[in-house]
Amino acid sequence: MPIYEWQCGEGHVFEMLTPAGASKRGQPCPNCGARSERVISTFAIHGGPPVATASERAAARDVDVTKLKLPNFARLCGMDDYSATRLAAHKVGRGAEFDDKMAARMERQAALREAPTKTAAGRRPKHSH
C-alpha cells in the first residue's frame, strides 16, 4: 500500500497508508475529522539526503527554535550552550528566527532591570551602603 499525503479544508496536512483503490476517496482528517483531499507530494524513492515529510516539517515548525539542541559530538571545542543552540537553529534554516527571538528576550530583560522600583509611598527606596 502506498503512503499518500492529504489536506483537509482546515489546512491540516497529514499522511496515510491507503490502498491504491481507495486513494480517490477523501479521508477523514485525524485532527478535526473534516473530509480531506489527496495532494501532490514528493516522490517516495530518492537517492540522497532524506526529504522531510509534510508532517515532519509541520512538527519542526512547532518546535521552539530557542530550545533546539546540538549533539555533544557536533559541538566545537569550548562551545557554550547558547552558541550550540544558535548553530542548531542555523542548521535547520531558522537562524534568523533564533536571533530575533533572543534579541527580543534580551530587550525585555533589560527593560525589566531598568524599570524603577517604588515603595508603598510611591517613592524610590533610599540608597544605603
Model pLDDT for residues 63-92, shown as the tens digit of each residue = 888 888 877 777 788 888 888 889 988 888
The reply to whether 37 and 75 lie within a common domain is no
The reply to whether 105 and 70 lie within a common domain is yes
Domain membership of residue 70 (yes or no) is: yes
Domain membership of residue 48 (yes or no) is: no
Distance CA 60, CA 79 (A): 24
For residue 82, the enclosing domain spans 64-114
The reply to whether 68 and 107 lie within a common domain is yes
On whether the pTM is more than 0.75, the answer is no
Domain membership of residue 121 (yes or no) is: no
Distance CA 71, CA 39 (A): 35
Domain membership of residue 127 (yes or no) is: no
CA 8 to chain CA centroid, nearest Å: 21
The reply to whether 69 and 37 lie within a common domain is no
In the chain, the number of structural domains is: 2
Domain membership of residue 68 (yes or no) is: yes
The ranges of the chain with pLDDT < 50 are: none
Domain membership of residue 9 (yes or no) is: yes
Domain membership of residue 129 (yes or no) is: no
Distance CA 26, CA 7 (A): 9
pLDDT attached to residue 107:
93
